[in-house]
């Protein structure tokens, strides 16, 4: 395991790719010496500010947190300081490889049976429940204890090189100037939420502050090209720049937030904020075709990515052919088995015993692969199929010293709540808990919910080879998996790997993007598979990644998410 590294320095004419010095050609040397790093994310404004942090002498951590804070401003329903996530750090100069987990936690006032009498129905995939009044989806009761800001602050304090004020400055400037609404932001705001969930547009209307921030004087939602102004957020960010995370968790901001939340029947308390702690974890590991793959632990989704890779290692995917009918069948069955295990066995390890050694055991994977090879079709227990929240974003960064970051962070499904005068959207993470007591996903004080977040890194020997991750709800693990397969099995450039047509099988139905030909899916249907075709060309997560070969970096931003890769 790559968990106890020796610090590395710099040497002219050499490049740190992983743990070894590799000699470079003259052309490669010129590229490395002129480059501070590379960053990839779904928001161009945030990518640029992260790149500028590198140009100012910051490292990968500085760039990632700068980017994340700007994402809070320019994509305020996808991410925010009142959200959650997982930060995967590989810092060879410091001899460190580990993760900061900052999932939200249920408030102490939460009870397993608090919503049991409100159940009205269930989405078609059995993911969450429809409750009377939709109190779990929108409004003050949907808010869990946020972890994002504490994780950002701790990461900069422990591993960054720039000051907290320098990290905060770009987000403040963007909030003061306002930002231009991008096509993907508008699409997310106005998209009809599938399968009966509360639409984001309705959530943005939930509070007076939301109606003022996101709508024009005529009451119309701001459109692409319009400039959104949120001076309240700018003031809040300035207070955080001056007071650090403490002002949010124990100071005046905490008091203002809790006063508003509790005045409207919410559960969050000052004690919840005061007692919140991030968790530090080691990566989970597996081998895949001679590569070493590291991802996050539960309640994140890394274990699903590793399980699927273990299954698929038993198939010659390259010979089968990329996105051929047999390829889609085999990979979909691996996805289904991982989903079955997730539903039955994976949750918050503080509350649920997760059999991690079993789920990523090679012999277990062989048994599942043999069933797939026999043509068996796994069954995912579902009432029907739906889509989980895609209200998430991702960042990949690599700096000139070999430091790497992969971070997925989110609001879950936004609560729609913006406290007057503060300008920030709170998470709506209570929406995914099972309101029935006694279940793996039932509500409990202090409990974290499972998420598919899986910021992942792949090593070729001791050399860092891939940094990858994605936003996209339950599709995240499936998108990350396909990105890794595209690079390793099909030798794609990262830009091609993240843009290639994807599919997913979170149930017995195989969902395909509209760029997968019908003559391919016709063969799958002939085998008895039900196919659901997306109306969009770039579907099922928004994969972002960086590939490193002999010190030469290349990045790929999912074309469906408005983002970019930028090297400086």
User: Catalytic positions, please?
Assistant: 392
Integer Cα distance of 333 and 18 in angstroms: 34
Q: What is the 3-state secondary structure (H, E, C) of 483-514?
A: HHHHHHCCCCCHHHHHHCCCEECCCCEEEECC
Tell me how far CA of residue 386 lies from CA of 253, 382, 509, in angstroms: 37, 10, 10
Cα torsion angle, 406, 412, 413, 419, sign: negative
Do 121 and 307 touch, CB atoms closer than 8 A?
A: no
Integer Cα distance of 482 and 459 in angstroms: 17
Integer Cα distance of 57 and 389 in angstroms: 36
DSSP state of 352: S
Cα torsion angle, 384, 471, 279, 296, sign: positive
Do 294 and 304 touch, CB atoms closer than 8 A?
A: no
Tell me how far CA of residue 93 lies from CA of 2, 4, 5, 10, 59, in angstroms: 13, 12, 9, 9, 11
Q: How many helices (H) and strands (E) does the chain have?
A: 20, 22
Integer Cα distance of 55 and 201 in angstroms: 38
């Amino acid at each position: 395991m790559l968990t106890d590294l020796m610090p590395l320095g710099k040497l002219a004419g050499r490049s740190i790719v992983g743990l070894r010095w590799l000699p470079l050609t003259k052309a490669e040397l010129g590229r490395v010496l002129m480059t501070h790093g590379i960053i990839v994310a779904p928001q161009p404004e945030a990518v640029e500010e992260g790149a500028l942090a590198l140009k100012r002498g910051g490292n990968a951590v500085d760039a990632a947190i700068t980017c994340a804070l700007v994402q809070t401003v320019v994509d305020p329903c996808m991410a925010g300081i009142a959200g959650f996530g997982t930060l995967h750090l590989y810092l060879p100069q410091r001899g460190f490889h580990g993760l900061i987990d900052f999932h939200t936690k249920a408030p102490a006032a939460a009870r397993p049976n608090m919503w049991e009498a409100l159940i009205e129905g269930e989405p078609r995939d059995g993911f969450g429940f429809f409750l009377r009044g939709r109190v779990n989806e929108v409004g003050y009761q949907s808010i869990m204890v946020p972890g994002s800001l504490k994780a950002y602050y701790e990461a900069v304090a422990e591993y960054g090189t720039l000051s907290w004020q320098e990290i905060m400055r770009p987000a403040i400037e963007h909030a003061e100037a306002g930002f231009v609404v991008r096509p993907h932001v508008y699409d997310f705001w106005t998209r009809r939420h599938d399968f009966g969930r509360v639409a984001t547009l309705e959530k943005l209307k939930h509070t007076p502050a939301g109606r003022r921030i996101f709508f024009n004087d005529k009451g119309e939602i701001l459109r692409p090209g319009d400039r959104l102004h949120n001076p309240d957020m700018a003031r809040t960010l300035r207070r955080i720049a001056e007071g650090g995370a403490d002002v949010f968790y124990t100071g005046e901001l905490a008091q203002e937030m809790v006063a508003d939340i509790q005045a409207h029947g919410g559960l969050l308390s000052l004690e919840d904020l005061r007692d919140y702690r991030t968790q530090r974890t080691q990566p989970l590991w597996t081998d895949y075709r001679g590569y070493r793959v590291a991802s996050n632990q539960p309640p994140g989704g890394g274990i699903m990515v590793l399980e699927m890779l273990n299954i698929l290692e038993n198939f010659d995917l390259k010979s089968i052919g990329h996105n051929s009918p047999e390829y889609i069948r085999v990979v979909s069955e691996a996805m289904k088995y991982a989903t079955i295990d997730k539903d039955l066995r994976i949750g918050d390890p503080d509350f649920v015993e997760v059999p991690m050694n079993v789920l990523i055991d090679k012999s277990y994977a062989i048994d599942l692969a043999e069933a797939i090879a026999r043509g068996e079709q796994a069954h995912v227990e579902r009432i029907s199929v739906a889509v989980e929240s895609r209200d998430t974003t991702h960042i990949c960064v690599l700096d000139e010293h070999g430091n790497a970051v992969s971070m997925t962070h989110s609001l879950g499904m936004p609560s729609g709540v913006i406290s007057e005068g503060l300008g920030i959207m709170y998470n709506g993470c209570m929406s995914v808990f099972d309101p029935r007591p006694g279940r793996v996903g039932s509500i409990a004080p202090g409990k974290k919910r499972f998420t598919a977040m899986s910021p992942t890194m792949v090593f070729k020997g001791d050399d860092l080879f891939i940094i990858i991750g994605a936003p996209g709800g339950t599709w995240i693990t499936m998108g990350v998996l396909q990105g890794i397969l595209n690079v390793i099995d099909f030798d794609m450039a990262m830009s091609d790997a993240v843009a290639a047509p994807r599919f997913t099988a979170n149930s017995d139905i195989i969902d395909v993007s509209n760029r997968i030909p019908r003559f391919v899916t016709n063969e799958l249907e002939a085998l008895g598979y039900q196919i659901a075709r997306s109306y969009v060309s770039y579907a099922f997560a928004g994969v972002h990644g960086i590939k490193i070969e002999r010190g030469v970096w290349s990045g790929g931003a999912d074309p469906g998410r408005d983002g970019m890769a930028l090297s400086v």
